[in-house]
Amino acid sequence: MLRYAFVGVSTNLIGYLVYLLITYIGLGPKVTMTLLYVTGATLGFWGNRTITFRHHEKGLAVGLRYILAHGVGYLINLTLLYTLGDRLGYAHQLVQAFAIFVVAGFLFVAFKYFVFPDPKRSLGAFR
């Protein structure tokens, strides 16, 4: 959990500051989040695989599980921005800060048990 927090805090803090800068310049919140989400997820694969979960599985399956988990995480983030920001009128900056924590919690569970499972505690149905 501490390794996940280290990787997550460093990448999300930088990502959030870039989000604030880009939306301040004028790009919309959902477009900015989409661009940064894809970038962060792509860069995060190595960090989460090697540093956080120390996972050594080879092959395409781990990459597909990672993409699936991030697809759900992205939809959670987009739904929060749309619902809380666009529909309910909360400031997108606050909604995105909240969304980072919600998505990070979801992704930790998804990574630990689905994407990078410990072979000794593997859930056979997901392999």
pLDDT band at 49 (very low <50, low <70, confident <90, very high): low
pLDDT band at 59 (very low <50, low <70, confident <90, very high): confident
Rounded to an integer, what distance in angstroms lies between the CA atom of residue 55 and that of residue 118?
Answer: 8
Q: How many domains does the chain have?
A: 1
Task: Provide the pLDDT for residue 28.
Answer: 97
pLDDT tens digit sequence for 66-98: 899 999 999 999 999 999 999 999 999 999 999
| Interval 101-114 mean pLDDT | 93
Question: Bigger pLDDT: 54 or 15?
Answer: 15
pTM for this model (two decimals): 0.83
Q: What tokens appear for 102 in the block?
A: 């919600």
Question: Domain range holding 98?
Answer: 2-126
